[in-house]
Amino acid sequence: MHSSVYGKIEKANRYARELDRISIDRISLTFRGDNDTHRVSLESDRWHCNCHYFESFKSCAHVLTMQKILGPMLSEDAQSSFFGATDEEPLLVDAASA
Contact 40, 66 (CB under 8 A): yes
pLDDT at site 23:
93
How do residues 12-63 score in pLDDT, each as one tens digit? Answer: 999 999 999 999 999 999 999 999 999 999 999 999 999 999 999 999 999 9
- Does 86 have pLDDT greater than 60? no
Contact 49, 40 (CB under 8 A): yes
DSSP H or E run through 11: helix 3-17
* 95 in any annotated domain: no
pLDDT at site 84:
53
Give residues with Cβ within 8 angstroms of 81, minimum separation 6.
59, 63, 64, 67, 91
Report how many domains make up the chain: 1
* 97 in any annotated domain: no
pLDDT at site 75:
93
pLDDT at site 81:
74
* 60 in any annotated domain: yes
How many CA atoms within 13 Å lie on the side-chain side of 63? 24
Query: Which domain covers residue 59, as residue numbers?
Result: 3-79
- Amino acid letter, 81: S
Mean pLDDT, rounded, for 3-20: 93
* 88 in any annotated domain: no
Contact 74, 43 (CB under 8 A): no
Handedness of CA 10, 16, 18, 23 (dihedral sign): positive
